């Protein structure tokens, strides 16, 4: 280890590890400091995403979906099984193996690219210099030409439901239950609440979701949010809107949760309670008082469009800076900063960040909603296509949902695409590519799609913008 680097990155989540790898690929002498310890107590790379976020949650979502299909749908397909049951210990072991494989993969990528991994805590000093405190051993000061801060985020906590790690947990605790709770409360009908509520609901919990807002998924297309809510309720999630949690009590091995809605105060009793009410930037101990980096009014590291902080040569990326808290957004910011340090002109297109909720069916979107466009006074055309008219979706017995394409009324440029349906997380990439290339609905309509495929629903919705959809009756006049 040297004590002088071209770049020191603090945080090895998706934003930090991507920045570090790209810096090293570009010939910069790079170290990456991370303080996370994995399940075994050893240092781990990959941050929230690989250890306690995207990957373990998707491992549980995929297994629980297979389980629910085997239990509820196989009979209808003509597949006979005995009684289907789940062994949570094996499910969790497999999740741990997936996480270990991927976090080990980051270690291997660091080695292969020459990134120096430093296990411990980093703190930005003036200069820029970084104080590095290893897990055991004395702290030392690293000189660096540039520093990239990527400290990520942690769960928001609320006063009425203090976490106790056993009965009241955050998303991390909810990824580690050792048995299926008979009854489960979830606070927050956001991404985490719906994904983890779905996991445990499919495994057999009676799930009640308490959401303070009156609108379900306010960031989504209104029709898609309404349809998604109905489908999730049909799967057994008891979603109570306008329900503000005001207190909780753990007694005799269960949790009493008190909440208020328009009709007054109520309470529910559950075996476990997940608090999924958002995440906040994690900057504790990160910044020396005189380091020159400022926070914005919500506690995020303040950066410009190019992720530069107020301190010279110091950049910040990922969940700890403005914008959606998504792994791929952080990764792209990491690449942008690395390439700009190497003299390139890379930028992040914040108008083309896809979002996905991995329920079944999945919800995915990119760009703007009809409601946003209307409130901005913009004129647009809309094409929709239901999966119920897709041959591939019907063949797969997976035909709930729809695709909606929104295009500018004058230029036909695609402004937003909203999908509720099977593999929406994959389908949305087509819309992102079209939008990144400034494509029009006509461009997508003139593109050939394989038949039969779920992608044809994107094609047909794009054709529908001008009233040309072939496999459904068009409401608009053909031209």
Residue length of the chain: 479
Which listed option, ligand NAD, ligand FAD, none, makes contact with residue 213 (CB within 5 to 8 Å by class)?
ligand NAD
The partner residues of 413 in beta bridges, in order of sequence, read 440
Within 181-210, the residues that bind ligand FAD by CB under 6 A are 192
Which listed option, ligand FAD, ligand NAD, none, makes contact with residue 127 (CB within 5 to 8 Å by class)?
none
Within 232-271, the residues that bind ligand FAD by CB under 6 A are none
Number of Cβ within 10 Å of residue 282's Cβ equals 18
Q: Do residues 455 and 428 make contact, with C-beta atoms less than 8 angstroms apart?
A: no
The answer to whether residue 412 forms part of the interface with ligand NAD (CB under 6 A) is no
What x-and-dash track marks residues 150-179 binding ligand NAD by CB under 6 A?
--------x---------------------
The answer to whether residue 151 forms part of the interface with ligand FAD (CB under 6 A) is yes
CB 220, min distance to ligand NAD, A:
11
Reduce the DSSP state of residue 73 to 3 states and report it. Answer: coil
Q: Please choose, from the candidates 399, 412, 403, the residue with its C-alpha nearest in 3D space to the C-alpha of residue 459.
A: 403
Binding region for ligand NAD (CB under 6 A) out of 24-32, 71-79, 125-133, 181-189 = 181-189
Within 291-330, the residues that bind ligand FAD by CB under 6 A are 318-319, 325-328, 330
The one-character DSSP state at 320 is G
Burial of 214 (0-12, 13-18, 19+ CB in 10 A): exposed
Helix spans in 53-113 (H) = 54-72, 74-77, 88-113
Q: Which residue, 152 or 204, is less far from ligand FAD as judged by CB?
A: 152
The answer to whether residue 113 forms part of the interface with ligand FAD (CB under 6 A) is no
Which listed option, ligand FAD, ligand NAD, none, makes contact with residue 278 (CB within 5 to 8 Å by class)?
ligand NAD
Active-site positions read: 451
The one-character DSSP state at 271 is S
The answer to whether residue 359 forms part of the interface with ligand FAD (CB under 6 A) is no
What are the CB-based long-range contacts (under 8 Å, 24+) for 245-252? 245/158, 245/160, 245/161, 245/187, 245/210, 245/212, 246/160, 247/160, 248/160, 248/161, 248/162, 248/168, 248/273, 250/164, 250/167, 250/168
Binding region for ligand NAD (CB under 6 A) out of 250-258, 318-326, 398-406, 416-424 = 318-326
Contact residues toward ligand NAD (CB under 6 A) are 158, 187-193, 195, 210-213, 244-245, 276-279, 324-326, 356-358
């Amino acid at each position: 280890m040297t004590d002088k680097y071209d770049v020191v990155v603090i945080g090895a989540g998706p934003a930090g590890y991507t920045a570090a790898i790209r810096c090293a690929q570009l010939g910069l002498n790079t170290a990456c400091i991370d303080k996370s310890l994995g399940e075994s107590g050893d240092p781990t790379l990959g941050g929230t995403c690989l250890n306690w976020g995207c990957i373990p949650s998707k491992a549980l979502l995929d297994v629980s979906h297979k389980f629910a299909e085997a239990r509820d749908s196989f009979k209808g397909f003509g597949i006979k099984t005995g009684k289907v049951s789940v062994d949570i210990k094996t499910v969790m072991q497999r999740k741990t193996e997936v996480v270990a494989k991927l976090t080990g993969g980051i270690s291997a990528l660091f080695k292969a690219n020459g990134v120096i991994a430093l296990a411990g805590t980093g703190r930005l000093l003036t200069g820029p210099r970084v104080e590095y405190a290893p897990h055991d051993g004395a702290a030392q000061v690293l000189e660096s030409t540039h520093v990239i801060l990527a400290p990520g985020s942690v769960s928001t906590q609320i006063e009425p439901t203090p976490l106790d790690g056993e009965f009241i947990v955050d998303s991390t605790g909810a990824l580690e239950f050792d048995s299926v709770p008979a009854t489960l409360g979830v606070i927050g009908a956001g991404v985490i609440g719906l994904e983890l509520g779905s996991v445990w609901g499919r495994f057999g919990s009676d799930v009640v979701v308490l959401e303070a807002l009156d609108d379900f998924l306010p960031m989504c297309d209104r029709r898609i949010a309404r349809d998604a809510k109905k489908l999730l309720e049909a799967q057994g999630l008891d979603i109570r809107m306008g329900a503000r949690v005001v207190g909780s009590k753990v007694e005799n091995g269960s949790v009493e949760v008190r909440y208020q809605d328009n009709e007054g105060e109520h309470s529910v009793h559950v075996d476990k309670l997940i608090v999924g009410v958002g995440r906040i930037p994690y900057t504790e101990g990160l910044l020396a008082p005189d380091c020159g980096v400022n926070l914005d009014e919500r506690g995020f590291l303040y950066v410009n469009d190019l992720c530069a902080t107020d301190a010279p040569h110091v950049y910040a990326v990922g969940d700890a800076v403005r914008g959606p808290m998504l792994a791929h957004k952080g990764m792209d910011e990491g690449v942008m900063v690395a390439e700009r340090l190497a003299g390139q002109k890379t930028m992040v297109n914040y108008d083309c960040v896809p979002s996905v909720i991995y329920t079944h069916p999945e919800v995915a979107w990119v760009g703007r909603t009809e409601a946003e466009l209307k409130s901005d006074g913009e004129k647009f055309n809309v094409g929709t296509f239901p999966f119920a008219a897709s041959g591939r979706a019907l063949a797969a017995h997976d035909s709930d949902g729809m695709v909606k394409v929104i295009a500018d009324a004058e230029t036909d440029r695609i402004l937003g695409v909203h999908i509720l349906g099977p593999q929406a997380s994959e389908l949305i990439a087509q819309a992102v590519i079209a939008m990144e290339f400034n494509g029009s609905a006509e461009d997508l309509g003139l593109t050939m799609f394989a038949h039969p495929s779920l992608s044809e629903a994107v094609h047909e919705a794009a054709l529908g913008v001008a009233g040309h959809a072939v496999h459904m009756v068009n409401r608009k006049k053909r031209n």
